[in-house]
Amino acid sequence: MRIHGIRFRVTLKRVNTRSVLASSLHEVRHGSSINDNNNNNNNNNNNNNNNNNNNNTNNSKKSPLSNTYFKGVYAVLNRGQGMYQSSLPFHIRWDRIQRHLEVLGRVSTGNTVIPYRDSGEAFRMMWKAVDDSKKSVLWQTYICKDDHVGQVTVSKMEAAHKRGCYTELLFDCGGNITGRRRLVGNLKQSGATVIEHRPILDHFLPYFLGGMKWERSPGIRNHRKILLVDDRIGFCGGLNIGNEYCGKSEGGTGRFRDTQCSVVGPAVAHLREVYDDTKAPKPWKWSFARWRQIAATAMDRRYKEGKNVRDECLGAMRHGGRVYVRRQMERAEKRGMRIMERMRWRRQREPVETALPKEEKGEKDLKEEKEGEKVVEKSNTLSISPLGASCMKKDQKTDDDQTNNLSQAKEKLIRELDTKGLQFTFTLNDEDAVPEAEEYSKARPSVTQVLSCNPHTRDWSIPYAFWQVSQKAHRRLWVTTPYYMPHRKLMRALLRAVRRGVDVRILAGSNTTTDPWFMWYASNYITGRFLAAGVRVYEYKGDQVMHAKTVVVDSIWSSVGSYNWDMMSNKNMEVCVCHLDYKLAREMEAHFLDDLKVSVEVNYEDYRRRSWWLRFASWFFYVGLQIAEKLTFRTFVDADLSSKIQ
């Protein structure tokens, strides 16, 4: 039974490994490494071989094929570490991922992307770019506070406008409900452009009085953070404008732990397209290629919906047939081996026993000697001495050893064919890179892609890209987010990645480092599902509030932007800069590990022992947010993101 690709996962779900495996092969989650288990299995195999040589006449011995084969299957199901599915080579896998991502956003090469983990350094570089501007300064943010950092930012933009630069500040009214008239008053008087995006009062009454159509919902907010200077350098990430977002080195409080990145190269023009998309959404901004992708996805979904109904009916029958055929083949092979062994033993035993002294024979042996008298005469065994008989026994043992070796070689070949899609490897250390990533980066150029979300045009490129990367990740998937409430399809992709042996980790805020605070309770409601599947969840315990939004995959692909892994990011306008590059991904992994040093991993047993009050609070806020989402986006339906199809 050749197993690879999706068939491998189907087999894992349907095979009852505990009924096949020996008790000694049952492993404990997060136990010893697969290398230690392999060494133990080798020792057990050697002992089994010795026992086979000493007990050649045991015809009822069970074949070790099933135990050895299903050991790897059991390791995938119960550990998820030290073993991974690699039916596709690394370069083929990531080439396919890139082909799927190309239709989601603009792609370019020759860019320089620099991530900033220190928010003070990020603001220093952004302010420096504004001071050096010569043509234009375009700043788009979700929150712009009237404090020290906000006033410094506005004053620098005002100075740039007085130098002759076109200056524009766009902030969302949802993040600035009270307005910013005093802050931006001087900037407006100087002649600069100030845009207040989607005032809440202008959309609140029309939404409820106009049939609660989600296109008019006041909940659609612009969550993008973009700074463009002279169309030469761009900045993107999660930093808003305010003291809380700026480090202490530049006059802020450094309350939030965030990540920002700078981009220099052709990707700046792509960021400009996203910036303009906020003001004037373009329904078909990716032309016919994007439309074809959407149409193909919809048709593929409808086809799979009908196919899944058929597979559910025939799946059990197919599986039962495969198991039945395999058992019949094993039984026939064992029966044939027993018959051949009996015939060989009869031919070899008769001449040896004939040469032994008659007093050592029993009545049964004498009777068999008379019946086989003709065979004895033909073989001329009367002239064989006892020494010759002992030599014949040694030759017989040698023949049996050769037969056993051939049988073992055959079983080994069968196992290699059956487990072609499996590769055993040492568990990667956190500081080590994925082995194939560096070689892949040498053979492929660095690629930068700008992804965006806009519910007005039904463009959900960012969650679709994360879904593609999650379900096809090779070895490692590390996510940093303030909180997590992903939609159903993205959550299934993460759980499937864990079952394939991918190291999936989520780093989020704790009950003291999450803003808003109730999002921690809502996220805690689904934490158990992640932990039970094998996802490693960490809570940030530093002296800052977690606000970073990054993803790093396989030491080759990374993303920095404004997208939170929650339900509202699917309805807001978001932006992310994705970069396919080994060096940048390694730097992002180093940032992730630095955050882990001040984080605590959530233990599944401790999670199950949480208090009843915490259970109720988690359920209350989770359900409350679900209800609020339905009220705010009552008619919202996205068949692709909410589909049950994998």
Give the residue numbers annotated as catalytic, written as ranges: 223, 225, 230, 547, 549, 554
Of 253, 254, 251, 258, the C-alpha closest to 237 is: 258
Provide the strand spans (E) within 428-524.
447-454, 459-460, 476-480, 503-509
Helices (H) and strands (E) in the chain, counts: 20, 21
Residue 622 near residue 519, CB atoms below 8 Å:
no
Fill in the DSSP letter of residue 458: T
Question: Inter-axis angle of helices 612-632 and 518-533, to 10 degrees?
Answer: 110
- Print the SS3 string covering 530-592: HHHHCCEEEEECCCCEECCCEEEECCCEEEEECCCECCHHHCCEEEEEEEECHHHHHHHHHHH
d(CA 498, CA 430): 17
How much of the chain is helix, strand and coil, in % rounded to 5? 55, 15, 30
Which among 280, 273, 283 is positioned nearest to 577, based on CA atoms? 273
Tokens 């560096």 found at: 438
Q: For strands 459-460 and 447-454, give the pairing.
A: antiparallel
CA distance 171 to 185: 14
The distance from CA 287 to its chain's CA centroid, rounded to whole angstroms, is 30
Instruction: Count CB-CB contacts under 10 A for residue 201.
Output: 9
Sign of CA dihedral 134, 138, 143, 146: positive
Burial pattern 315-348, b for ≥16 Cβ within 10 A else e, equals eeeeeeeeeeeeeeeeeeeeeeeeeeeeeeeeeb
Name the token pair of 441.
């980066």
User: Are the C-beta atoms of 239 and 122 separated by less than 8 Å?
Assistant: yes
Q: Map residue 307 onto helix, strand or coil.
A: helix
Distance CA 626, CA 527 (A): 16
Distance CA 473, CA 12 (A): 19
Sign of the Cα pseudo-torsion (594, 595, 599, 602, in order) = negative
**CA Rg value for the chain:** 34
Q: Cα(380)–Cα(343) distance, rounded to whole angstroms?
A: 20
Distance of alpha carbon 533 from its chain centroid, rounded?
Answer: 12
C-alpha–C-alpha distance, residues 358 and 335, integer Å: 35
Angle at 568 between CA 464 and CA 303, to 5 degrees: 35
